[in-house]
């Protein structure tokens, strides 16, 4: 099974958070790498608990970070 996981930067809160179709998976972390690791550990648990799924999964990570820049 393949699951897409968007990791989105919240500049105001200064954290990365998830947006995904994995039921129950809603995480945030201070760094991108921390969030990837949290998702990697939590995704199998969420799928087993919420979907009765066991077996291999592929996690496809997409990072989104929007920053403001001023043009003079």
Answer for the pair 25, 39: CB distance below 8 angstroms, yes or no: yes
Query: Is residue 61 within a helix (H) or strand (E), and if so which, with residue range?
Result: strand 58-64
Query: Domain limits of the chain?
Result: 2-64
| pTM of structure | 0.87
Dump the DSSP string for 34-69. Answer: HHHHHHHHHHHHHHHHHH---S--EEEEEEE-----
Question: Tokens 């998830």 sit at which residue?
Answer: 18
Give the pLDDT of residue 65: 92
**Which residues lie across from 8 on neighbouring strands?**
17, 64
Give the pLDDT of residue 2: 96
Residues 7-47 pLDDT 10s: 999 999 999 999 999 999 999 999 999 999 999 999 999 99
Q: Return the CATH class of domain 2-64.
A: alpha beta
């Amino acid at each position: 099974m393949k699951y897409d996981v968007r990791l989105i930067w919240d500049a105001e809160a200064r954290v990365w958070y998830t947006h995904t179709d994995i039921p129950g998976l809603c995480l945030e972390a201070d760094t991108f790498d921390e969030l990837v690791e949290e998702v990697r550990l939590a995704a199998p648990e969420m799928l087993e608990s919420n979907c009765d799924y066991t077996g291999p999964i592929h996690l496809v990570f997409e990072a989104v970070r929007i920053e403001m820049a001023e043009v003079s």
